[in-house]
Amino acid sequence: MPTTVEIPKEKWTGKVREVTLGATPSNGGTRGREVVVGGEATLPFLHFEGAIPHPPVVAVEILDRYPDDWAAPLKEVWGDVMKDPAAWARKAEELGAELIMLKLTLNESGAADGARAADVVKAVLGATTLPLIVRGPGQAEADNAMLVPVCEKAAGERIAVGLCEDKNYRTIVAAAMANNHLVIASTPIDVNLAKQLNILISDMRMPMERILMDPTTGALGYGIEYTYSVMERLRLAALSGDSMTQQPMICFVGEESWRQKESRVGQGVPAEWGDWHHRGVIWETVTAVALLEAGADIVTVRHPKTLELVQSTIQKLMAS
């Protein structure tokens, strides 16, 4: 008698919230299209079990100034467009980016120039039709000083701003709320801290449909296993109906993976590490793919080749 195997399926009671980035003219913005993430009713890419209405998307990371400290392979591949954030964003869009992630930095004297930040954001919005993610330098006061004018200048565009951390979220959330933007809630690799921050932000009456969650990214070889597991736990909690864990997740893959020795250093490393340029791309790609398997909804990358590889992987994973 032939055996018949019953396919084991989980009956999930919850699903991830849908979050829309960008606003088209009909919704009060100027974007060419809106990007919806989230909505999953099952674990990553398990189409046999539940609906996955929106594929994860890939954002390209750009800076508001020339990135002197980035690894040489990145500077080589982008070339002169890196000197102008608007040109850089336009090029990223041409290459197929679905979102732009603009990182703001302090100026040469270490000061946070809010007016300049707002101008750069405006220029980038003008140069591309894509929805935008904007991050501050990552220091509480500087973030507030730069992100508030940015939120005002980009009012209505539904950009995602961050990072909101437990000690520094109020001002950013208030500015995002007042100008119809989204926020990114960031916590250091911990389920309870992530939940807690989502609660604090929603207590300010920010709708949950406007919160993305950054679980903190560790790169391949540099803590990825911690990020991977905390994301799996967050996603399992979300599917089990825990409302405060149901935000789509964003991973800053490019920034983390290009910070590591494998990507940054081409000389004086073991021959077994292989070709430098290729290694950097693979390091970034493997980091992105592993985190997509753990539940990432948005990954940000730096290298155009990574963009291409991760997008084609997502396409293949969405084919059921």
Rounded distance, CA 67 to CA 252, Å?
17
Torsions phi, psi for 120 (to 5 deg): -60, -45
Cβ 224 to ligand B12 shortest distance, Å: 8
Give the position of tokens 């197929």.
96
Rounded distance, CA 50 to CA 44, Å?
10
Q: Considering CB distances under 5 to 8 angstroms, the limit depending on partner class, which of ligand B12, another protein, none binds residue 282? A: another protein
Q: Select 109 or 320, whichever has its Cβ closest to another protein.
A: 320
Q: Quick one: which of 42, 216, 263, 287 contacts ligand B12 (CB under 6 A)?
A: 216
Which residues is 162 bridged to in the sheet?
Answer: 135
The answer to whether 181 and 151 are in contact (CB under 8 A) is yes
Give the position of tokens 């590591």.
260
Q: Quick one: which of 44, 67, 218, 304 contacts ligand B12 (CB under 6 A)?
A: 218
Under rule CB under 8 A, residue 5 binds another protein = yes
Q: Quick one: which of 140, 155, 189, 200 contacts ligand B12 (CB under 6 A)?
A: 189
Under rule CB under 6 A, residue 221 binds ligand B12 = no
**Could you say which residues in the range 196-255 bind another protein, by CB under 8 A?**
220-226, 228-230, 232-233, 236
Q: Select 42 or 287, whichever has its Cβ closest to ligand B12.
A: 287
Structure tokens at 264: 């940054």
Give the position of tokens 């910070």.
259
Cβ 306 to another protein shortest distance, Å: 10
Q: Quick one: which of 62, 304, 309, 311 contacts another protein (CB under 8 A)?
A: 309
Q: Considering CB distances under 5 to 8 angstroms, the limit depending on partner class, which of ligand B12, another protein, none binds residue 190? A: ligand B12
Rounded distance, CA 137 to CA 67, Å?
13
Rounded distance, CA 170 to CA 201, Å?
8
Rounded distance, CA 188 to CA 202, Å?
19
Cβ 193 to another protein shortest distance, Å: 12
Under rule CB under 8 A, residue 317 binds another protein = yes
Helices (H), ranges, the chain: 72-78, 85-94, 114-127, 140-153, 170-178, 191-203, 224-239, 253-257, 261-264, 276-294, 304-318
Structure tokens at 224: 């990825």
Under rule CB under 6 A, residue 131 binds ligand B12 = no
**Could you say which residues in the range 187-206 bind another protein, by CB under 8 A?**
188
Burial of 41 (0-12, 13-18, 19+ CB in 10 A): middle
Under rule CB under 8 A, residue 293 binds another protein = yes
Which residues is 134 bridged to in the sheet?
Answer: 102, 161
Under rule CB under 6 A, residue 252 binds ligand B12 = no
Binding site for another protein (CB under 8 A): 2-8, 43-48, 188, 220-226, 228-230, 232-233, 236, 259, 261-262, 264-265, 268, 270-275, 278-279, 281-283, 285-286, 289-290, 293-294, 309, 312-313, 316-320
Binding site for ligand B12 (CB under 6 A): 188-190, 193, 216, 218, 222-223, 226, 256
